[in-house]
A and B are shown apart, each in its own frame.
Chain A
Amino acid sequence: KQEVTQIPAALSVPEGENLVLNCSFTDSAIYNLQWFRQDPGKGLTSLLLIQSSQREQTSGRLNASLDKSSGRSTLYIAASQPGDSATYLCAALGGSSNTGKLIFGQGTTLQVKP
């Protein structure tokens, strides 16, 4: 059974720092891996989607990498800003290619201090 783990559970950094959020998964037979952002009391906003054949995806100050062989993904945030404060969730899509289900990590809650 696929398990997704995110470390650390919480992170506090000063504004301007570059930071890395970690995600690991136990079953390397995934179809894709997706990173989400969640603000308190809100739904999930998709940040980046990495297909299993890809190594990384970039969007603005965000870069996500995927290493299936080691069961790891990282989300790199450059030049962090207070507006980046949120919970970041990674999720792996496994199972059947048509009816696959996302398995979520517990999330990393990020606080960026001005």
Chain B
Amino acid sequence: DVKVTQSSRYLVKRTGEKVFLECVQDMDHENMFWYRQDPGLGLRLIYFSYDVKMKEKGDIPEGYSVSREKKERFSLILESASTNQTSMYLCASSFPGWGGYTFGSGTRLTVV
């Protein structure tokens, strides 16, 4: 069964910590995405990557960075976590073009 795996289901971090969220896919997809989901705001795109070492800003990149050193792995980095980054984070991958997206199970991050 093809998968997008997010390393943690739940994470609690302190304000100011550097936080790494990891995402791995086993479908040889070129494109990978990070979204955050908040009540009333829906899903918002943070960053995406359409190739190794390539990255593009989404709609809300402030306070985040990403890393894609290998095709199968896409990491989201919170440089200095803040309470307003408490959210559900969802990773997805797809083939370029007309293929559908496959999502991971999400990471619920709480910043205290």
Contact = CB atoms under 8 A, between A and B. Distances in A.
Contact of A104 (B31, B43, B100, B108): B43
Nearest to B108: A41
Interface residues of A, number: 26
Contacts, number: 58
A42 B6 CA distance: 12
B79 interface: no
B13 to A, nearest CB: 19
A101 B100 contact: no
A49 interface: yes
Contacts of B6: 43
Contacts of B103: 36, 43-46
B106 to A, nearest CB: 4
Contact of A98 (B50, B88, B90): B50
Contact of A51 (B31, B50, B98): B98
Contact of A34 (B33, B97, B100, B106): B100
Interface of B: 6, 31, 33, 42-43, 45, 48, 50, 56, 58, 88, 90, 92, 96-98, 100-106, 108
Interface of A: 31-32, 34, 36, 41-46, 49, 51-52, 89, 91, 93, 97-102, 104-107
Given A41-B88, A42-B105, A101-B58, 11 more contacts: A36-B103, A43-B6, A43-B103, A43-B106, A44-B103, A91-B101, A97-B96, A98-B96, A99-B50, A100-B97, A102-B101
